[in-house]
Structure 1
Amino acid sequence: MTEKEWRMFNDILLEIYYAGSLETFGERCLKLIRILIPYTQGYFLVIDEDGRLDVAHSVFENVDPVMKRKYLDTYFAKDYLMQMCNFTKSMAYRDTDLLTDEKRRASVIYREYFKPQKLDMGCGLIIMKEGKTRVFLNLLRKCGEPDVTGHEMEILQTFLPHFEKNVFAYANHYVSGAENTIKNREADLLSGREQEIVRLVRKGYSNQEIARQLLISEATVKKHLSNIFEKLGISRRTQLF
């Protein structure tokens, strides 16, 4: 990198190292990395222990709200980064290095999600922990814009260990701090049976599946959920996540 880029890089590191939370870290990364690597849309995707997208801590930059909803509901599961590529360690990547243009453009997410938005190729960072993907930083460019250069890949590679260190630190803080607070609150407010139901809901079980698992009726599950919502001050099933 040039001397000017190193100065900008150091300024970016100062900002992200004092983010204070995983979500704020993601927001700052997306805004600041744009200074060195131009992009059209950015995704900071946090993946939970079960391989599901943690919507609450994921961040999107310059993504239309309707398209964001479509990505969350449908296209995250069809993203070729998740479907076609096997990763074993944290890495910087460029789409055109991972897949041929033919495979990339034949993918469902490209045809149905990227192409309608005139998005083409991208690059980013993949953070692995204990053999599991925990965070994607995905930076996308429009059709017709130049591919990510070797120099930009060098910048991403330099950024990688700092990004990884912060993700681990904030993720650990989130688990040990926020989740423990939530668990303690739930233990105080909910019965043993209600805590069991919350655990199964968070695993993605339907009411019917929970009833089968706990050998109770579906109506009883619904009654328990109603009580859980009231005790926790929430109104929707998704808020349990």
Structure 2
Amino acid sequence: MFEELRGRVVLVTGGASGIGAGIVDAFHGEGSTVVSADLSFPDGLQQDPQGTWTVGLDVTDEDAVAAVVSDIADGIGVIDTVVTAAGTSTLGFATETTAAQWDLNLDVNAKGSFLVAKHVAARLVDDERTGRIIFISSQAGKNGYRGMTAYVASKHAVLGVTKTMATELAPRGITVNAICPGIIETPMKHRERIEGGAIRGMTAEEVAAEDRSQVPLGRTGTPHDVAGVALFLASDLAGYMTGQGINVTGGMTMH
């Protein structure tokens, strides 16, 4: 579909499962050279039988992020497009949220996304190249949700970083946008239904039914729904878009 993505070097963090895995598959299908980075992978660049590269990465460790970006540039090619899909969540009402839960969400979701984007952007600037930075935020970056104080704060932060980096990097021809998924069927979402249901006195099945009832399109989303928007943002069609937070929510969030 997007011929210009063929051969492009794409880094996807959190690529082992969920939204990240869907994005990895989508770029691979377009013929991109994809590097899937995840905390669960072994250290060092390795290539699987399908041609996708994998590398272990803790996105909260700046030295590790810098090393991986450098290793990819030296061993594969300068990263043209990065998608920051690594993320986590904890459940708990504001009065019960611990400092440790706050730190975990802000470290992984906000700081981790920033560090990866920072080092990819710095390499693009040094090499005088254009590129695409795509953050995975959330509709939680635009709304407040009970029982998710730290997560919501972290995803609002991602949108703030998106707007600032878009402004700073626009003169360089580097676009910076965010995708704001709604309720997407992933292992993290399934865990959240169990944990969130427990603090609300509901079963996971009841939470899932409630989720579906809130979506105007009548269904929850899939990683494929998010991946299609990532491909668009990386393509030439999105060359005049930057600083945007694009909803992929089935109509649940419309602003």
TM-score range, shorter chain: 0.3 to 0.5
Q: Which has the higher helix share?
A: 1
The normalised TM-score by structure 2 is 0.32
Q: Which has the higher contact order (CA 8 A, sep 6+)?
A: 2
Query: TM (normalized to structure 1)?
Result: 0.34
Larger Rg: 1
